[in-house]
Amino acid sequence: MGPLSVSHDQEALCLALSGDIDFVNSAPITQAIREAVIQSQPTLVRVDVAEVSFLDSSGLGVLVAALRVATDCGAVFRVERPNANVYGQLEIAGLLEIFGLADSDGGRSVAGR
């Protein structure tokens, strides 16, 4: 499996990121996400980051670009199951609320935290 897996459930486009999401692979991942969202026109885009081992600023940019294309297509956007490191990076960057993680447990309980 590569760093991006794309699937669909009833109304959602489900994107799963894994491994290192950084400057090396951020551009092709961003393009693949853009194409998947535009092609499927979902009502909800869910990005599972439970298997992300490293996320740099370019990786954060992937998530922001995914949010933008989802919003442009009229879809709700949500990041799910961040591990402690990814959650901390999203928190420091001020992205928890716009990624749907600003609830009582930060979405971490879904990942077994």
pLDDT digits (tens, 9 = 90+) for 36-57: 999 999 999 999 999 999 999 9
**Has residue 111 been placed in a domain?**
no
Backbone angles phi, psi at 89, to 5 degrees: -65, -40
Q: 57-72 vs 84-92: helix axis angle to the nearest 10?
A: 70
* pLDDT (average), residues 16-21: 98
pTM of the model: 0.89
Backbone angles phi, psi at 58, to 5 degrees: -65, -35
* Structure confidence at residue 10 (pLDDT): 82
Q: pLDDT band for position 1 (50/70/90)?
A: low
**Has residue 74 been placed in a domain?**
yes
Say how many domains are in the chain: 1
**Has residue 21 been placed in a domain?**
yes
Q: Indicate the average pLDDT of the chain.
A: 91
